[in-house]
A = this chain, B = another copy of it.
Amino acid sequence: MSKHARTDHPIHDLLAQRWSPYAFDGRSVTPDDARAIFEAARWAASSYNEQPWRFIVALRDDGEGFNQVLSCLVEANRQWAQHAGLLALTAIRTTFARSNKPNRVALHDLGLAAANLTLEATARGLHVHQMAGIEPDRAREVYSVPDGFEIATAIAVGYRTPAEQLQGELRDRETAPRTRRSLPEFVFGGQWDRPADFL
């Protein structure tokens, strides 16, 4: 089953290949691949080069450490993410280190880093599924997250397995066609809601 994006305009294959599966096969991510995907995150752009992103990471081979990260996801995500090969919680520093002023785009810049990580993983034959469904209060307590930082999302990385491993709604979601708004619905020119001329 291919979930390659059916694009309206040609884009780089790495971007078209990326999608977020639920069915992972339980193999651990290797230390080599783990280093590379966080190295990719490292080189993302950020406002004032603040690099507000932090990651709490466990490989599946870590055993207890993996289960600890897993326990910070909501139940619906634990169900499938338990088979991932690496789990990470993401956090942001909410202020700029240089000025202690609020960093309005910290969450945005975390997104830039997470996308870099995802594309490096994709290039290495891995798949990534990001989650907003976490238990941030639990994560803060478990990992003693200091003031000035906020837990933001979780990231599962691993190897795909056929959708047949899944049951019920998850299996339906796994095999459903990928859909997106069309470009004129979100790329405007001159005024809001007017599609850009180049479309």
Identify 22 residue pairs between A and B in the complex whose beta-carbon atoms are under 8 Å apart, listed by A's number: A5-B43, A16-B43, A35-B199, A49-B179, A54-B186, A56-B192, A57-B188, A57-B198, A59-B198, A62-B197, A105-B132, A108-B114, A110-B111, A111-B113, A111-B114, A111-B115, A112-B112, A112-B114, A115-B116, A119-B119, A144-B192, A146-B192
The quantity of this chain's copies bound in the complex is 2
Contact residue range for chain A? 35 or more
> Are A20 and B45 closer than 8 Å at their CB atoms?
yes
A174 contacts partner chain B, Cβ-Cβ < 8 Å: no
> Are B53 and A186 closer than 8 Å at their CB atoms?
yes
> Are A145 and B39 closer than 8 Å at their CB atoms?
no
User: Closest CB-CB distance, A80 to chain B, in whole Å?
Assistant: 15
A169 contacts partner chain B, Cβ-Cβ < 8 Å: no
Q: How far is the CA of A49 from the CA of B196 in the complex (A)?
A: 23
**Known pairs A111-B109, A115-B116, A190-B65; A123 contacts B12 (CB<8 A):** yes
Given contacts A55-B188, A57-B198, 16 further A-B contacts (CB under 8 A): A9-B36, A11-B120, A34-B196, A44-B115, A51-B181, A57-B188, A57-B189, A65-B190, A105-B107, A105-B153, A107-B111, A108-B111, A109-B111, A111-B112, A112-B114, A144-B191
> Are A55 and B186 closer than 8 Å at their CB atoms?
yes
> Are B132 and A47 closer than 8 Å at their CB atoms?
yes
Q: How far is the CA of A183 from the CA of B196 in the complex (A)?
A: 40
Question: Chain A at the B interface: mostly helix, strand, loop or mixed?
Answer: mixed
A45 — which chain B residues lie within 8 A by C-beta? 18-20, 118, 130
A36 — which chain B residues lie within 8 A by C-beta? 9-11
What residue of chain B has the Cβ atom nearest to residue A17's Cβ? Answer: B43
A84 contacts partner chain B, Cβ-Cβ < 8 Å: no
A180 contacts partner chain B, Cβ-Cβ < 8 Å: yes
